[in-house]
């Protein structure tokens, strides 16, 4: 089961990274609330809403698939399936923190990830707090993934 978690975590982390970076490329204004730490509201458009849905699906999708595989192939119960889903989402969260937040956003700082007239944050703490929030968000998602995996 460890291989299952590692495999789906890395695959989902790569997909999540692509979706997040693409959302920065196509609809950077949706990240306005994040980069200003809530001082300005993000612009909500149909495009940014669609990207947000894609981000949530790419974050949780691998966990749902891994939980389903664990329940189907390994006769895992609810707790095991939910833990598999949570572990996969934790790996996705870690990939996001290291690749997107630290490597790309803080170190490389590409020009397409800057917003006009907005000072981009350089605080690692903000990204760590967001990562911890992602781990909290993964708890109910993992529970739902465990329920869905057993129902399938």
Model pTM?
A: 0.90
The total number of residues shown for the chain amounts to 152
Angstrom distance (rounded) from CA 70 to CA 76: 6
pLDDT of residue 1: 81
What would the pLDDT profile of 81-101 be if each residue is shown by its tens digit? 999 999 999 999 999 999 999
List of residues 6+ apart from 38 with CB closer than 8 A:
none
Q: What is the pLDDT along the chain (152 residues), one digit of tens a residue?
A: 889 999 999 999 999 999 999 999 998 888 877 777 777 776 678 888 899 999 999 999 999 999 999 999 888 899 999 999 999 999 999 999 999 999 999 999 898 888 888 888 888 998 999 999 999 999 999 999 999 999 87
Angstrom distance (rounded) from CA 63 to CA 134: 13
Angstrom distance (rounded) from CA 10 to CA 65: 13
């Amino acid at each position: 089961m460890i291989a299952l978690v590692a495999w789906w975590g890395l695959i989902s982390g790569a997909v999540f990274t692509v979706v997040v970076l693409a959302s920065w490329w196509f609809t950077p204004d949706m990240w306005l609330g994040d980069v200003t730490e809530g001082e300005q509201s993000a612009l909500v458009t149909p495009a940014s809403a669609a990207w947000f849905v894609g981000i949530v699906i790419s974050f949780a999708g691998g966990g749902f698939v891994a939980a389903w595989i664990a329940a189907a192939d390994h006769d895992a119960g609810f707790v095991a399936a939910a833990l598999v889903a949570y572990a996969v989402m934790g790996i996705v969260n870690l990939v996001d923190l290291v690749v997107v937040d630290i490597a790309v956003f803080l170190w490389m700082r590409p020009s397409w990830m800057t917003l006009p007239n907005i000072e981009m944050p350089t605080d690692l703490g903000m990204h760590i707090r967001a990562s911890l929030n992602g781990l909290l968000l993964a708890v109910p998602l993992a529970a739902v993934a465990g329920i869905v995996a057993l129902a399938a």
